[in-house]
């Protein structure tokens, strides 16, 4: 039966992606949304939208009763689960069928079999698909747990049975860390998936993460749509995905494709899914898991095959056979996709929140952007921090890499920190361009080594100068006296003008003298630049004899563009992008905090407090664990000392810069 109205049981960029194909097919769409998502782009793009109660996922997007009620209220006849949330929940698929709704996905039995990684391993072994050595640990006491881990072998991974995306996963080097890792993984698994079951799996390294896209229909056909290489990861979450894999030749592609089809056939799979493998340097591969849903990284497969995987999902859901293109698919060219996150890779990938003042990715042939945000969107802590996927297709891998780097460098992303510079550095790294990156890439090449430091970076200094000159021009253009006199003019020589900015936590002091003998400096270091022209929103400089144009944007509360009253500045140029914050020339009101205050770097929920008042701690010791954007973040002591006060408890919601604890040097105050 044809689908007429589809409810999207998800949010963000996955909802927008599915809506796009639905519009092409004339299918009406329904969005459901939680209170934090009320102003999100996906809500506006749906034909109808139904609000859900509760900000947290468990109270909204994971609430099956609310989703089904929304479908009934709008007359939807089908539900698409997207990825994440209820996408691999067999009970949800069963509930949809019981309500007379078409579930755009595989049968509940297949979801249940592959949704439990423990059951999936058992089925794959029975089907003859190679698996990594592992063990189940549910219900084991500490002694039995240690025995099971010894049989698997160290190092090992603790993995959530219902998990994915690195959530509920811990790497364990030895027996001393095992019990805590199992407890931590189980707790995070409950929060993310509602299931505390975990298992152990031997940690295989070095390996590549190579997955096979499969599609099947109700008539017994299952096909492989080739591989994707997703080896570059942070915290076991994919950052860069490409097709085809530079490590897979035609023979290996056929072997892995056959194993993936065997895996899908073993569970009676229909719809679109992915079978993930670990690929060793010797060409041997091992089953990792099967995702019984559309994958985040599916666009790279679409780019090289020309297929619309959502269109295939919908056709199968309508009980139609796979299209002929799925049987005749071939790889054309090369596609690479990166995941743009709101986070700081130089601060342990700390999530960033706030308003996106500008979000502009340049369009070009071969470039595709799937995003959940736009200019003006607010990024909070309730959901994953991914903002967008940016993909480039080229006739060759080098073409795709070059186009993607250029696209990222030209993008304007203002108001919130992102991992854009890290992505560019990965793509430009010799190991990646040679096709040699494996899952240990970011362990060997730390972000601090890949991304240049802030104030010591010449580019950042020049960007700071551009910001200062734009601000000077803005101030001069609004002068009430002698407004026609050009900026920087002086009758007599004098000291340079100075403006100060913060880049991250570091201070940038920009000095400039205009007029007959112009000079420019940053932090006392002379710059080899010459001013060509300056306007409030654009500055032209000769940098080392090369003429460059710098776009300058300043943002105020609720404002955008060139607004002189605020302190947030973004500079974009062919040299890169820099976010700065102007330091007031006058002292601001200072919030009084006790010396030694340990502050929350982000808003979130406290899930662990690891110290009590009176504990002696060393710099780097974990003090509090905060959950934000579905990830746990350890807040560590910034000094040696004694914990004098603990100001939070488990379950407490904290705001950014809220005092969590107070640590002093341990010296008792002198008696009066």
Quick one: average pLDDT of 471-485? 67
Please, which pLDDT band fits residue 138 given cuts at 50, 70 and 90? Answer: confident
Percent pLDDT > 90 in the chain is 71
> What is the predicted pLDDT for the residue at 2?
95
Quick one: average pLDDT of 17-25? 98
Please, which pLDDT band fits residue 163 given cuts at 50, 70 and 90? Answer: low
Check which CATH number belongs to the domain holding 475 and give it.
3.30.700
- Model confidence pLDDT, tens digit, residues 4-19: 999 999 999 999 999 9
- Model confidence pLDDT, tens digit, residues 456-475: 688 899 999 999 999 999 88
> What is the predicted pLDDT for the residue at 493?
60
Q: Are residues 219 and 318 in the same domain?
A: yes
Among 427, 450, 473, the domain-final residue is 450
| 545 DSSP assignment | T
Residue 671 lies in a domain: no
Does position 97 have pLDDT exceeding 90, yes or no? yes
Q: Are residues 173 and 32 in the same domain?
A: no
Q: Are residues 194 and 219 in the same domain?
A: no
Q: Are residues 491 and 572 in the same domain?
A: yes
pLDDT mean across residues, the chain: 90
Task: Judge residue 670's burial from the number of C-beta atoms within 10 Å of its C-beta, 0-12 exposed, 13-18 middle, 19 or more buried.
Answer: exposed
Tell which residue, 247, 254, 250, has the closest CA to residue 230: 247
- In terms of DSSP bridges, do strands 271-279 and 367-371 run parallel, antiparallel, or are they unpaired? unpaired
Domain range for residue 19? Answer: 5-104
* Token reading at 205: 């390294």
Among 547, 582, 617, the domain-final residue is 582
CA 248 to chain centre: 26
Ranges of H-type helices in 453-581: 458-477
Does position 477 have pLDDT exceeding 80, yes or no? no
Percent pLDDT > 70 in the chain is 92
The model's pTM is: 0.84
> What is the predicted pLDDT for the residue at 196?
80
- Angle at the Cα of 392 (from 386 to 394), degrees rounded to 5? 160
Q: Are residues 286 and 418 in the same domain?
A: yes
Q: Where are the beta strands (DSSP E) in 37-166?
A: 48-51, 78-80, 102-103, 134-136, 156-164
Check which CATH number belongs to the domain holding 624 and give it.
2.40.50.100
Quick one: average pLDDT of 267-278? 96
DSSP letters for 636-648: E-SSSEEEEEE--
Tell which residue, 219, 328, 332, 236, has the closest CA to residue 288: 236
Residue 420 lies in a domain: yes
* Token reading at 534: 């300056």
Residue 122 lies in a domain: no
Does position 410 have pLDDT exceeding 70, yes or no? yes
Distances in Å between the Cα of 260 and the Cα atoms of 123, 183, 227, 241, 471 are 13, 32, 10, 19, 59
* Token reading at 623: 């003090």
> What is the predicted pLDDT for the residue at 587?
54
Q: Which of 152-156, 336-340, 344-348, 476-480 shows the lowest mean pLDDT across its residues?
A: 476-480
Query: What does the CA dihedral 138, 139, 144, 150 come to, rounded to 10 degrees?
Result: 10
Domain count of the fold of the chain: 5
Quick one: average pLDDT of 499-509? 89
Q: Are residues 220 and 363 in the same domain?
A: yes
Distances in Å between the Cα of 57 and the Cα atoms of 34, 294, 429, 632 are 8, 20, 37, 16
CB 337 within 8 A of CB 394: no
Residue 33 lies in a domain: yes
The interaxial angle of helices 108-115 and 90-98, nearest 10 deg, is 170
- C-alpha–C-alpha distance, residues 658 and 599, integer Å: 5
Please, which pLDDT band fits residue 670 given cuts at 50, 70 and 90? Answer: very low
Tell which residue, 384, 342, 346, 352, has the closest CA to residue 603: 352
- Model confidence pLDDT, tens digit, residues 217-244: 999 999 999 999 999 999 889 999 999 9
- C-alpha–C-alpha distance, residues 429 and 438, integer Å: 13
What residues are paired with 418 via a beta bridge? none
CB 116 within 8 A of CB 138: no
What residues are paired with 340 via a beta bridge? 388
Burial 148-174 (b: 16+ CB within 10 A, else e): bbeebeeebbbbbbbbbbbbbbbebee
Q: Are residues 265 and 399 in the same domain?
A: yes
Q: Are residues 306 and 378 in the same domain?
A: yes
Please, which pLDDT band fits residue 487 given cuts at 50, 70 and 90? Answer: low
Tell which residue, 202, 169, 165, 166, has the closest CA to residue 187: 169
Q: Are residues 471 and 570 in the same domain?
A: yes
> What is the predicted pLDDT for the residue at 556?
67
Quick one: average pLDDT of 110-135? 88
- C-alpha–C-alpha distance, residues 145 and 556, integer Å: 55
The interaxial angle of helices 117-127 and 250-266, nearest 10 deg, is 110
- Model confidence pLDDT, tens digit, residues 416-430: 999 999 999 999 999
CB 226 within 8 A of CB 304: yes
> What is the predicted pLDDT for the residue at 564?
38
CB 221 within 8 A of CB 322: yes
Please, which pLDDT band fits residue 666 given cuts at 50, 70 and 90? Answer: low
> What is the predicted pLDDT for the residue at 454?
60
Please, which pLDDT band fits residue 270 given cuts at 50, 70 and 90? Answer: very high
Does position 453 have pLDDT exceeding 90, yes or no? no
Q: Are residues 158 and 289 in the same domain?
A: no
Q: Which of 247-251, 444-448, 546-550, 582-586 shows the lowest mean pLDDT across its residues?
A: 582-586
* Token reading at 306: 């020309």
Task: Judge residue 141's burial from the number of C-beta atoms within 10 Å of its C-beta, 0-12 exposed, 13-18 middle, 19 or more buried.
Answer: exposed
> What is the predicted pLDDT for the residue at 560?
42
Q: Is 326 helix (H, G, I), strand (E, B) or coil?
A: helix
CB 436 within 8 A of CB 445: no
Check which CATH number belongs to the domain holding 165 and give it.
3.30.1490.20
Tell which residue, 404, 374, 375, 373, has the closest CA to residue 386: 373
- C-alpha–C-alpha distance, residues 442 and 456, integer Å: 23
CB 437 within 8 A of CB 232: yes
- C-alpha–C-alpha distance, residues 23 and 8, integer Å: 13
How far the first Cα of the chain sits from its last, in Å, is 86
Tell which residue, 217, 426, 228, has the closest CA to residue 320: 217
Tell which residue, 344, 364, 481, has the closest CA to residue 419: 344
Q: Is 470 helix (H, G, I), strand (E, B) or coil?
A: helix
Residue 639 lies in a domain: yes
Q: Is 176 helix (H, G, I), strand (E, B) or coil?
A: helix
Quick one: average pLDDT of 307-329? 97
Does position 394 have pLDDT exceeding 90, yes or no? yes
Rg (CA), the chain: 27
Check which CATH number belongs to the domain holding 316 and give it.
3.30.470.20
- Model confidence pLDDT, tens digit, residues 555-593: 864 334 433 345 799 999 988 899 999 987 655 554 567
Q: Are residues 143 and 55 in the same domain?
A: no
CB 40 within 8 A of CB 46: no
Non-local CB neighbours of 143 within 8 Å, separated by 6+ positions: none
Among 450, 471, 490, the domain-final residue is 450
Quick one: average pLDDT of 284-288? 93
Residue 642 lies in a domain: yes
Non-local CB neighbours of 518 within 8 Å, separated by 6+ positions: 488, 512, 530, 531
Residue 125 lies in a domain: no
Non-local CB neighbours of 255 within 8 Å, separated by 6+ positions: 285
Does position 657 have pLDDT exceeding 70, yes or no? yes
Please, which pLDDT band fits residue 671 given cuts at 50, 70 and 90? Answer: very low
Q: Establish whether the linkage from the previous residue to 354 is cis, with ω within 30° of 0.
A: no
Residue 514 lies in a domain: yes
> Half-sphere exposure of residue 451, counting CA atoms within 13 Å on the CB side?
22
Q: Are residues 558 and 494 in the same domain?
A: yes
């Amino acid at each position: 039966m044809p689908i007429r109205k589809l409810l999207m049981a998800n949010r963000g960029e996955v909802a927008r992606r599915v809506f796009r194909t639905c519009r092409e097919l004339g299918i009406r769409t329904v969005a459901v949304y939680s209170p934090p998502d009320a102003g999100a782009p996906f809500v506006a793009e749906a034909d109808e939208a139904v609000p859900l109660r509760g900000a947290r996922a468990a109270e909204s997007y994971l609430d099956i009763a609310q989703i089904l009620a929304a479908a009934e209220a709008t007359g939807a006849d089908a539900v698409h689960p997207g990825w994440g949330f209820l996408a691999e929940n067999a009970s949800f698929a069963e509930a949809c069928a019981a309500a007379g709704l078409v579930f755009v996905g595989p049968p509940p039995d297949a979801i249940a079999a592959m949704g439990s990684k423990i059951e999936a391993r058992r089925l794959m072994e029975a089907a003859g698909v190679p698996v990594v050595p592992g063990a189940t640990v549910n219900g084991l006491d500490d002694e039995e747990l240690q025995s099971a881990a010894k049989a698997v072998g160290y190092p090992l991974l603790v993995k959530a049975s219902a998990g994915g995306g690195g959530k509920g996963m811990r790497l364990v080097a030895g027996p001393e860390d095992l019990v805590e890792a199992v407890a931590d993984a189980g707790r995070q698994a409950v929060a993310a998936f509602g299931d505390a079951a975990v298992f152990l799996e031997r940690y295989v390294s070095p390996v590549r993460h190579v997955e096979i896209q499969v599609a099947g229909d109700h008539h017994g056909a299952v096909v492989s749509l080739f591989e994707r290489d997703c080896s570059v990861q942070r915290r076991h979450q994919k950052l860069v995905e490409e097709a085809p894999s530079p490590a897979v030749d035609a023979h290996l592609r056929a072997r892995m494709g056959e194993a993936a089809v065997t895996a899908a056939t073993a569970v009676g799979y229909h719809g679109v899914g992915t079978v993930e493998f670990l690929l060793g340097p010797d060409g041997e591969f091992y089953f990792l898991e099967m995702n019984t849903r559309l994958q985040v990284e599916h666009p790279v497969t679409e780019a090289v095959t020309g297929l619309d995987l959502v269109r295939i999902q919908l056709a199968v859901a309508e009980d139609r056979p796979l299209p002929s293109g799925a049987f005749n698919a071939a790889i054309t060219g090369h596609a690479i996709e990166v995941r743009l996150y709101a986070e700081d890779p130089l601060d342990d990938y700390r999530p960033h929140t706030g308003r996106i003042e500008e979000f502009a990715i340049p369009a070009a042939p071969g470039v595709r952007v799937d995003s959940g945000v736009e200019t003006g969107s607010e990024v909070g802590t309730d959901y994953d921090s991914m903002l967008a996927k940016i993909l480039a297709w080229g006739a060759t891998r080098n073409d795709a890499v070059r186009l993607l780097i250029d696209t990222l460098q030209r993008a304007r992303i203002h108001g919130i920190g992102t991992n854009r510079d890290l992505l560019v550095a990965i793509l430009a790294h010799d190991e990646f361009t040679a096709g040699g990156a494996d899952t240990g890439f970011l362990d060997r090449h730390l972000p601090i080594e890949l991304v240049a430091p802030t104030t010591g970076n010449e580019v950042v200094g020049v960007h700071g100068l551009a910001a200062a000159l734009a601000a000077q021009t803005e101030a001069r253009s609004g002068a009430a006296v002698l407004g026609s006199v050009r900026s920087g003019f002086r009758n007599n020589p004098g000291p340079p003008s100075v403006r100060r900015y913060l880049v991250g936590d570091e201070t940038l002091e920009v000095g400039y003298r205009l007029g007959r003998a112009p000079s420019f400096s940053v932090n006392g270091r002379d710059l080899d630049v010459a001013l060509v022209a300056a306007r409030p929103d654009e500055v032209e400089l000769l940098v080392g004899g090369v003429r460059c144009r710098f776009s300058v944007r300043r943002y105020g509360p609720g404002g955008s563009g060139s607004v002189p009253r605020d302190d947030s500045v973004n500079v974009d140029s062919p040299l890169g992008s820099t976010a700065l914050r102007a330091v007031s020339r006058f002292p601001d009101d200072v919030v009084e905090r006790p010396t030694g205050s340990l502050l929350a770097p982000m808003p979130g929920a406290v899930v662990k407090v690891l110290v009590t008042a009176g504990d002696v701690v060393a710099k780097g010791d974990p003090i509090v664990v905060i959950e934000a954007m579905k990830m746990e973040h350890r807040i560590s002591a910034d000094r040696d000392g004694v914990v004098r006060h603990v100001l939070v408890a488990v379950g407490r919601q904290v705001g950014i810069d809220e005092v969590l604890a107070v640590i002093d040097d341990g010296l008792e105050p002198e008696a009066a």
